[in-house]
Amino acid sequence: MTAPLLEVRHLRVEFNTRRGTLVAVDDVSFEIAPGEVLGVVGESGAGKSITGTAIIGLLERPGRIAGGEIRLEGERIDNLPGEAMRRIRGRRIGAIFQDPLTSLNPLYTIGHQIVETIQAHLPMNHAEARRRAIELLGEVGIPAPERRIDHYPHQFSGGMRQRVVIALALCANPRLIIADEPTTALDVSIQAQIIQLLKRLGREHGTAVMLITHDMGVIAETADRVAVMYAGRIVEIGPVQQVIHDPQHPYTTGLMGSIPAVGQDTERLPQIEGSMPRLDAIPPGCPFNPRCPRVFDRCRVERPDLLQANRTLAACWLHAPERKAPGAGRDWSEGAVHA
């Protein structure tokens, strides 16, 4: 296997508050290979966005990286000073955020903003940068880019704006793009177009993408591998097909079951009782244990690490070597669910 592009090891992010230290990301480790799309899913508050923000060095106080390391192409980037990190951001890691309106400056034409970004990272004169900007806009599917380049953000629709933001992220040909809920603010038909675009760009440029979203459908369509987060930890990580069709962690199983699908003929959706714990009240042991239908004693005291489970890794004691419980994910329907 090729050397990973991004390597995150035992990442821990803490927020110091008056009521004590909250651990938003707890011992998270994963890798992204060049050209790979890694999906990160989870419900709100699971720590997926914080993980992304920590990688691009945009954590705001009181949040801070309290442990672990982040390596980009082998080089440590989590402890770089501000200026050095700023050169990496944009040049080697691009970012796309949820709301395209807040990512663009309403006072400047999009051309101005793209040219500025290109010149900040690449040795190009204005005319060259402008040519490249037009090229980029064409590439992300904006019709008549040579005319549109002189328009202001408000003259674009939501979907078109998100394309502009993607063009901005691509300016300096970064090796990695961190996309945080890039399609959430968009209508389904536009969402589909943006997903197609992200996939195509990854393929053509060999850009790796870390796709953060709460929408399992988007992940299924786009990602190669997926990491499922719960209460600041990765509970399962593996190839997307495996995680969707044969989940090994009871949380993933519950999450998959609760997604309504078109044409599904069920009276009731399987549901996970309760809700994710708040950061100041994460239970000891496995954080999912109070909601887990297959909980046993060990889960309440000892925290599980990611264990090999079928073809994925799952942080669940059901997969402990001394306790072989085949098909942990599939027993959900047998009396475990409150139907």
Partner 1 sequence: MHSASAGQQPQARNTGTDLKAGTPRSVPALLQVRELTKDFDVSRPWLNRMIERSPRQLLRAVDHISFEIERGETLSLVGESGCGKSTVARLICGLYAPTDGSIRFDGVDLATITKRSDMLAVRRRFQMIFQDPYASLNPRWSVERIIAEPIRSHAIVKGDAAIRERVAKLLSDVGMAPSDARKYPHEFSGGQRQRISIARALSSSAEFLVCDEPTSALDVSVQAQILNLMKDLQREHGLTYLFISHNLAVVSHISTRVGVMYLGRIVEIAPTKTLFQRPLHPYTRMLESAIPDITMSGKARTPVAGEVPNPLNPPTGCTFNPRCPFAREKCRVDRPELLPFDGARVACHGVHEGWVPVEVVRQAPDHLA
DSSP H or E run through 306: none
Question: Considering the complex, what minimum distance in angstroms separates the CB of residue 325 from partner 1?
Answer: 20
Nearest residue (CB) to partner 1, 265 versus 334: 265
Nearest residue (CB) to partner 1, 51 versus 191: 191
Question: Under a CB-based contact definition with an 8 Å cutoff, are residues 137 and 131 in contact?
Answer: no
CA distance linking residue 217 with residue 223, whole number of Å: 10
Which positions ≥6 away from 292 have C-beta within 8 Å?
250, 251, 286, 299
Nearest residue (CB) to partner 1, 82 versus 263: 263
Question: Considering the complex, what minimum distance in angstroms separates the CB of residue 166 from partner 1?
Answer: 16
Nearest residue (CB) to partner 1, 53 versus 191: 191
Residues forming the site for partner 1 (CB under 8 A): 43-44, 157, 159-160, 187-193, 195-196, 214-221, 240-241, 244-245, 254-273, 275-276
Query: What Å distances lie between residue 8 and 46, 107, 148, CA to CA?
Result: 17, 37, 39
- CA R_g for the chain: 21
Question: Considering the complex, what minimum distance in angstroms separates the CB of residue 188 from partner 1?
Answer: 5
Question: Considering the complex, what minimum distance in angstroms separates the CB of residue 217 from partner 1?
Answer: 3
Please name the residue ranges forming H helices in the chain: 48-55, 82-91, 100-103, 110-121, 126-139, 145-148, 158-170, 188-205, 216-222, 240-245, 250-257, 297-301
Nearest residue (CB) to partner 1, 92 versus 294: 294
Question: Considering the complex, what minimum distance in angstroms separates the CB of residue 221 from partner 1?
Answer: 5
CA distance linking residue 119 with residue 112, whole number of Å: 11
